[in-house]
Amino acid sequence: MNRPVNIVALMRTPEAQEAFRKAVSRDSGNLQIMVMPLQLDLAALRALRGDIIVLDMDVTSPTEMRALGEFIADENSPPVVVTAAQLDVAAMRAIMRLGLPDVVPQPFDRGDLGMAMQAALARRRTGASYGKQGALVSFIGSSGGVGTTSLAVHGACAMARGKDASDLCLIDLCLQFGTAALLMDAEQNLSILDLLRDPGRLDGALLRGNMVRVKDRFDLLPAPAQVCSMELDPVSLAATLSVARSQYSTVFVDLPLLWSQWTYSVLQMSSAIVLVVELGVPSLKLARRQIDWLNREGLDQVPLIVVANRVESGLFKKQLSLADAAKALGRKVDHTIPNEPAFQLAADLGLPVGAASGGGSVEKKLGAMMKDILRYAQPAIANKGI
């Protein structure tokens, strides 16, 4: 017979203590529950003895968050489930910086609380640790048709070539017209919407189970196969991306041409942003507008990499120069990708560009570009304390 699972819950108020007791079923599981008044100093946390610790956090308190971070940094600490009365995007970001995927809002939902504790217990049994957070790189375009998705997909293929594909994933958040799966002739059975329907159940195993392996290069969470609403819950999406970052060392996100609360939250938690442009007046003017918006909204702290796509060569090219582009953008172009026929051939065949005739050299260029992008992203992770 299995020994009981010991749950220790530290709640801020008597009302929260009683609500937790009611939400946790004692008759349907082998549980021993202790509900205590909140103490969040490091010494008190280390004195706790339980299989799962549930903490009612004030995520705006630097003292509490520092104590929590030091507590979970100890590999011998039990798994933690965080709950908070005020759980918004800013709160989720603070929790994600610590690498904590198990978060439950208040008032308590019995199902969500049970799922979070099950996931935390599974992590204890597998020996998984907190704090692992991969780089999150978001791809945006100056306008439609500049090849943002193509660069994200073929860049992922180039980066994962010869590596373990389980270490890289791409999430297509272009909900209505996402083409990442189509470019690789991959399945579109499940999408981010399937995960967000029941966010309380989400853990690393479920996330990986919803992924499609693309050409043995990387894992893909495709866009929905059917046209759908563009509305997503920012908090649930942030939690999903946090789980992805705990499972993969690199997470690419293909974002739509949409400014909304949820796209802003994705950009805000990104390790780097890749802005794809073309060397024409309309694209560059729209790109400048994007850059100004990022700066105005406080996203200038996230490293921005500008990539000029479909760059022509030769004496008779009909594009602006890189110097002209820099003047229009107010900053330099960081990388250029040539206008190679291999991209169209690869799209027609559903293959990585390197597998298409004449695409070997451009795949190498993409791989070098992705390595440089991650060099920008990794310091950003360290600076955020993630």
**To the nearest 10°, the Cα dihedral for 192, 149, 133, 376?**
-160
In which band, very low, low, confident or very high, does the pLDDT at 166 lie, cut at 50, 70 and 90?
low
DSSP class of residue 201? Answer: G
Give pLDDT tens digits for 250-288. 999 999 998 898 999 899 889 999 999 999 999 999 999
Looking at residue 1, its pLDDT comes to 42
How does residue 120 score in pLDDT terms, banded at 50, 70 and 90? confident
Give the pLDDT of residue 382: 47
| Mean pLDDT value across residues 161-180 | 84
pLDDT at residue 313 in the model? 83
Q: What is the pLDDT of residue 26?
A: 54
Written as one letter, the residue type at 346 is: A
pLDDT band at 162 (very low <50, low <70, confident <90, very high): low
Asked whether the predicted pLDDT for residue 131 surpasses 70, the reply is: no
- Taking the C-alpha atoms of residue 207 and residue 223, their distance in angstroms, rounded to an integer, is 14
CA–CA separation, 330 vs 238, rounded Å?
31
- Asked if the bond preceding 107 is cis, omega within 30° of 0, the reply is yes
pLDDT digits (tens, 9 = 90+) for 319-365: 999 999 999 999 999 999 999 999 999 999 999 999 999 999 999 99
Amino acid, single-letter form, for residue 85:
A
> Who's near 120: CB < 8 A, 6+ residues apart?
52, 79, 80, 81, 102
Q: What is the pLDDT of residues 291-308, one digit of tens each?
A: 999 999 888 889 999 999
- Say whether pLDDT at 50 is over 90: no
What token pair was written down for 84? 């908070």
pLDDT at 59 over 80: yes
Binned at pLDDT 50, 70 and 90, residue 164 comes out as: low
Higher pLDDT: 383 or 266? It is 266
DSSP for 126-192? Answer: HT--S----EEEEEEESSTTS-HHHHHHHHHHHHHTTS-GGGEEEEE--TTT--HHHHTT---S--H
Cβ neighbours of residue 368 closer than 8 Å, sequence gap 6 or more: none
pLDDT in tens, 14-23: 999 999 988 8
**95 pLDDT exceeds 70?**
yes
Domains of the chain, each with CATH number or no CATH: 5-126 (3.40.50.2300), 135-383 (3.40.50.300)
Look at residue 385 and tell me whether its pLDDT is greater than 80: no
